[in-house]
């Protein structure tokens, strides 16, 4: 079973996510003309995308490690985001997780 950090740095230590956002995430989103808000906003986006693709709130809540009630109250957002914005965000963050 693999071990270690999900986002490990060169020396095997955990990456500081705020530094990574400043160096990698924000420039990628800026190039796509999308404003960076926070890791929490990305988490909400991720939960909404999982719910939309799977059709299951239970799947989305398990992916985030939350209960269904927490997912429904804090993470799910309306699908009113334009498809081109959703695609740009998905493309911008696709390189962050292997």
pLDDT band for position 22 (cuts 50, 70, 90): very high
SS (H, E, C) 17-29: HHHHHHHHHHHHH
Domain-located, residue 98: no
Straight-line distance from the first to the last Cα atom of the chain, in angstroms, rounded to the nearest whole number? 16
Domain-located, residue 19: no
What's the pLDDT score for residue 42?
80
Domain-located, residue 61: yes
Q: Residue 15 pLDDT more than 80? A: yes
| Mean pLDDT, range 8-34, rounded to an integer | 86
How does pLDDT run across 42-84, given as a tens digit for each residue? 888 888 888 888 888 888 888 888 888 888 887 776 666 656 6
Backbone angles phi, psi at 24, to 5 degrees: -115, -55
- Give the count of domains, the chain: 1
What's the pLDDT score for residue 98?
47
Domain-located, residue 50: yes
The range of the structural domain enclosing residue 69 comes to 37-93
| Mean pLDDT, range 25-50, rounded to an integer | 84
Domain-located, residue 85: yes
pLDDT band for position 4 (cuts 50, 70, 90): confident
Alpha helices, H only, 32-98 = 39-54, 57-64, 68-70, 83-93
Output the average pLDDT for the chain. Answer: 79
Going by C-alpha positions, the residue among 29, 69, 36, 71 that lies closest to residue 54 is: 71
Domain-located, residue 64: yes
């Amino acid at each position: 079973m693999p071990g270690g950090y999900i986002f490990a740095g060169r020396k095997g230590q955990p990456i500081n996510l705020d530094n990574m956002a400043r160096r990698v995430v924000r420039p990628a989103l800026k190039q796509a003309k999308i404003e960076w808000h926070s890791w929490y906003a990305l988490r909400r986006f991720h939960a909404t995308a999982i719910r939309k693709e799977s059709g299951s709130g239970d799947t989305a809540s398990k992916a985030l490690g939350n209960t269904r009630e927490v997912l429904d109250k804090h993470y799910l957002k309306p699908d009113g985001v334009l498809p081109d914005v959703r695609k740009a965000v998905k493309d911008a963050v696709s390189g962050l997780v292997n």
